[in-house]
């Protein structure tokens, strides 16, 4: 029976990985190249991540420098950053784009905290939906007499323990990110 749980545990772990990616994209006052991961640039008609069209460097803790391999794409990169919800205005010097991250204001910290709480809650909802799907599958097996009532009770308990463990991990990730936001 434990083998059948692995599918659902993998789905829950993918949800956690996705949540960590969302958290990494929330800027915490420091220059972090991961904030650019969700921004796509129209490159030869294909939406392409910024890190695939050039190099990204961080000369200091508050600056990112994007140097596209094709200088003709500078305007498109600048436009994509301006249209994103990053909240930073790029400076184009003709060879590279410089992003300067300002010190976070208290108001912006609170907005970012709300945003990460929302991400965490969405992650918990996704985990619970996976649990529900698993239970639907196992209840269908019970209906077909593939498993017994006792098996179903054990499965319900195990799936709830797995869900609780994943939700605790989400809470730990959320707490870590909130501390990061408040300490910068």
Looking at the chain, list the stretches that DSSP marks H as alpha helix, in order from N- to C-terminal side: 2-25, 74-83, 106-143, 149-183
Which domains are assigned to the chain? 2-25+105-183 (1.10.132.20), 33-100 (3.30.1360.40)
d(CA 1, CA 166): 20
Look at residues 165, 182, 45 and name the one whose alpha carbon lies nearest to residue 106: 182
At 95-154, the pLDDT tens digits run 888 988 777 778 878 888 898 999 999 999 999 999 999 999 999 999 998 889 998 999
Rounded average pLDDT over 87-99: 85
- pTM for this model (two decimals): 0.71
């Amino acid at each position: 029976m434990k083998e059948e749980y692995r599918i659902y545990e993998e789905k829950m772990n993918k949800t956690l990985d996705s949540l960590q990616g969302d958290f990494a994209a929330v800027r915490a006052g420091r220059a972090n190249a991961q904030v650019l991961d969700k921004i796509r640039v129209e490159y030869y008609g294909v939406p392409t991540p910024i890190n695939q069209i050039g190099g990204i460097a961080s000369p200091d803790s508050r600056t990112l420098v994007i140097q596209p391999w094709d200088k003709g794409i500078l305007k498109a990169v600048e436009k994509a950053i301006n249209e994103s919800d990053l909240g930073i205005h790029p400076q184009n010097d003709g060879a590279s784009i410089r992003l300067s991250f300002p010190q976070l204001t208290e108001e912006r910290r609170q907005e970012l905290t709300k945003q990460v709480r929302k991400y965490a809650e969405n992650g918990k909802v996704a985990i619970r939906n996976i649990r529900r799907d698993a239970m639907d599958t196992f209840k269908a097996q019970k209906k077909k007499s593939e498993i017994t009532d006792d098996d179903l009770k054990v499965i319900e308990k195990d799936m709830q323990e797995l869900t609780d463990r994943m939700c605790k991990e989400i809470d730990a990730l959320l707490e870590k990110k909130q501390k990061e936001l408040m300490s910068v």
